[in-house]
């Protein structure tokens, strides 16, 4: 949760949003356990843009993490600088597959922790262990509603991705 919010907070163009209700068709597929108050979930994509410097513009694509949307990821990761895995600490297990996906494809990724008010707060190193994320992967708490921390996460991801490229792995 927080993908639409995050893209909206940082994008300098009006974000393009496609959102649809979770219907009975997906009952049993999308577990709403622990997030009963949320009646919709993203079923398509958010698109935005942010300029980090005159010669550095990021295009942002927000897509859901569930396995049935991975067909979109396979296209999006072509030419991508990296990925932000936005984590809800109330449903940590939902993020395992996304972490595996980016690791397996060697795409630099950063883990952003969405701090929901009622969400359990864990030390960052506990999250790293729970997700089995390698030590060099940045993990940052963010508030997707606020532009500055959200932008900082994107800057950090870009730096991290550049580091990986220049070190040649």
Our finding on whether 89 is near Mg ion (CB under 5 A) is no
Helix axes 3-10, 147-167, angle to 10 degrees: 90
Cα(92)–Cα(161) distance, rounded to whole angstroms?
Answer: 24
Cα(138)–Cα(157) distance, rounded to whole angstroms?
Answer: 8
* Angle, CA 91 vertex, CA 75 and CA 125 arms, to 5°: 90
Q: Which one of residues 18, 57, 145, 148 is an interface residue with ligand GDP (CB under 6 A)?
A: 145
Residues 33-52 that bind ligand GDP (CB under 6 A): 41-42
Pick between residue 26 and residue 115 the one whose CB is nearest to ligand GDP: 115
* Beta bridge pairs of residue 46: 17, 62
Residue 62: CB minimum distance to ligand GDP, A: 7
DSSP structural state of residue 142: E
Residues 20-79 that bind Mg ion (CB under 5 A): 42
The contact set with ligand GDP (CB under 6 A) reads: 1-5, 41-42, 114-117, 143-145
The contact set with Mg ion (CB under 5 A) reads: 3-4, 42
């Amino acid at each position: 949760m927080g993908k639409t919010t995050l893209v909206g907070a940082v994008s300098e163009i009006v974000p393009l949003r496609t959102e649809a209700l979770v219907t009975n068709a997906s009952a049993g597929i999308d577990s709403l356990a622990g997030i009963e108050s949320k009646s919709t979930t993203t079923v398509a994509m958010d698109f935005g843009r942010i300029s980090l410097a005159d010669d550095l513009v990021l295009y942002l694509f927000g897509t859901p993490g569930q396995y049935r949307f991975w067909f979109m990821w396979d296209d999006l990761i072509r030419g991508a600088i990296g990925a932000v895995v936005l984590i809800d600490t109330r449903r940590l297990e939902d993020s395992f597959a996304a972490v595996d996906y980016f690791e397996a494809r060697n795409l630099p990724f950063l883990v952003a922790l969405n701090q929901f008010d009622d969400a359990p707060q864990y030390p960052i190193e506990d999250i790293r262990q729970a997700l089995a994320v390698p030590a060099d992967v940045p993990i940052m708490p963010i508030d997707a509603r606020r532009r500055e921390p959200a932008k900082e996460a994107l800057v950090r991801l870009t730096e991290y991705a550049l580091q990986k490229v220049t070190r040649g792995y």
